[in-house]
Chain A
Amino acid sequence: MPDFPMPRGTCPFRQHPGYAEAAALGPLTKVSMAHGQIVWFVTGYAETRALFADPRLSVDRTNPGYPGSAAATPEQLEQLRETQSFNQLDDPEHAAYRRLAIPSLTVRRVKSLRPALQSAVDDIVDDLLAAGPPADLVPALAVPLPSIMLSLLYGIPDRQYFEQRVQQAATDRRFGGRALSELSDYLDTLLRSRDGTGDDLLSGLMSGRRADQVTQRRVLNLALQTLVAGNESTLSMLAMGALSLLAHRDQWEALVADPGRVPAAVEELLRYLSVADSVPRVALADVEITGEVIRAGDGVLLATPAANRDGNTFANPDELEVERSARHHVAFGYGVHQCVGQNLARATLEIAFGALVTRIPDLRLAVPADEVLIDGGVGVHRITRLPVTWGGR
């Protein structure tokens, strides 16, 4: 039985070799985690989608059997219960919170944020071109852009204060924790000042708070955890997405030739990179699937990188093909907990990659792709530097 977590390979944009090995054992297999906990490991696309959508699988990590909770003490579980965000709650409680967040993340609302995102990206590319090559796309683009995206989503008045701390939270090992705690205090105060009538996310959350549907602590947790999740995943997709395109020159050139292909390329990059990795669940009842029975109390890991490379669903799954139709990937999950910020993420990635291919078409890696080291094992994957150059140098 394979162990989980699995070691990553050395190439930043290849999936864990262990995922393909697990997938070869069948769409559902088992892995061994810390403390001897054995959980289901789901690598098939159809099975992953079905289980994401199955209400008998719980996202609540305080339920016995949840992956990684084997050694948790009752006190630790109680503490987890106190600090859970809406995406760690099952319906119907989850739905009450999600419904407060979705008005600020509709397709129309995201469209209204596009001009401001475009302008932020234009400024970033202006600065890159003015400074001249070489450059590092992680601090220049991948770190600042998500903080600007979150500023716009949250309707932040003190943008410099907020964005600086959001960037620190994602990148600064020493002071990231303090930045997050400052953001918590800042958002708490800001939330209390919102009357619930604006179209930003914090106003949406407070509309329910005023109606007493939800608690202040949960609303603040939602705002903070949405910030962390949106920040890290978008940062990772910007950096690893740019790396993947530049390392597959024919794919980059296809976008330079026709930037109208960028939206499809973003879907393919989401599939190919699957940066959110394996998503934990625990069964609350017996679930029969593909000839196996997941018993009540069994932990389950939905291995989205493997599901998104299931050859039954995606032809040549290990190839990056920006022209394929990858819209049905499960990089944002599936079911009622599917990423609430996905349309904002799409817009941000489209605008960023669109600007790079149109304004710096001769952009290229300044070091070999396999020298761009990946940071961390489990959780959101990322790279910490992406040296690039352009022009004659």
Chain B
Amino acid sequence: MGVSANREVCVGAGQCVLAAPEVFDQDDDGLVVVTAPDHPDDAAVRDAVHLCPAGAISHA
């Protein structure tokens, strides 16, 4: 449960890092890393999910 990311479909746009920098980062390959999976489902995380162009992140 919590915030999760699918690195297989990630396209490295960085939208999640801009929207919720305390929850998401990009590794050296530019792909998404979830740094705070237990982060509450707040507006920033919802923005990140909405803005991701590849549908790579979710909050369950």
Is the pairing of A and B real?
Answer: yes
Binding site for B on A (CB under 8 A): 52-53, 95, 98-99, 102-103, 105-108, 327-328, 333-336, 338, 340, 342-343
Interface residue tally for chain B (C-beta within 8 Å): 21
Question: Do A338 and B50 contact each other (CB < 8 Å), given the known contacts A102-B29, A102-B30, A108-B26?
Answer: no
Q: For B55, what are the chain A residues with a Cβ–Cβ distance below 8 Å?
A: 53
Q: Which of the residues B12, B18, B21, B51 comes within 8 Å of A99, measured between beta carbons?
A: B12
Tell me the complex Cα distance, A40–B26, Å.
37
Contact B13 A342 (CB under 8 A): yes
The 8 sampled A-B contact pairs (Cβ below 8 Å) are A52-B53, A102-B12, A105-B30, A107-B18, A328-B51, A334-B53, A336-B53, A343-B13
User: How close is A267's CB to chain B, nearest CB, in angstroms?
Assistant: 10
**What's the least CB distance linking A271 to chain B, in Å?**
13
Chain A, residue nearest B17 (CB) = A107
Q: Knowing that A338-B13, A338-B53 are A-B contacts, what are 13 other residue pairs whose CB atoms are under 8 Å apart, sorted by A's residue number?
A: A53-B55, A95-B11, A98-B11, A99-B29, A99-B30, A103-B28, A103-B29, A103-B30, A105-B14, A106-B30, A107-B26, A108-B17, A327-B51
B54 touches A335 (CB 8 A): yes
**Which residues on the B side are within 8 Å of A340 (C-beta)?**
12-13
Min CB distance A174 to B, Å, is: 37
Q: Are A53 and B53 in contact (CB under 8 A)?
A: yes
Report the bound CA distance from A327 to B51 in whole Å: 8
Among B14, B25, B31, B47, the one with the most A-chain Cβ atoms within 10 Å of its Cβ is B14
A343 nearest CB across to chain B (Å): 5
Cα A53 to Cα B25 with chains together (Å): 22
Q: CB-CB < 8 A to B50: which residues of A? A: 328
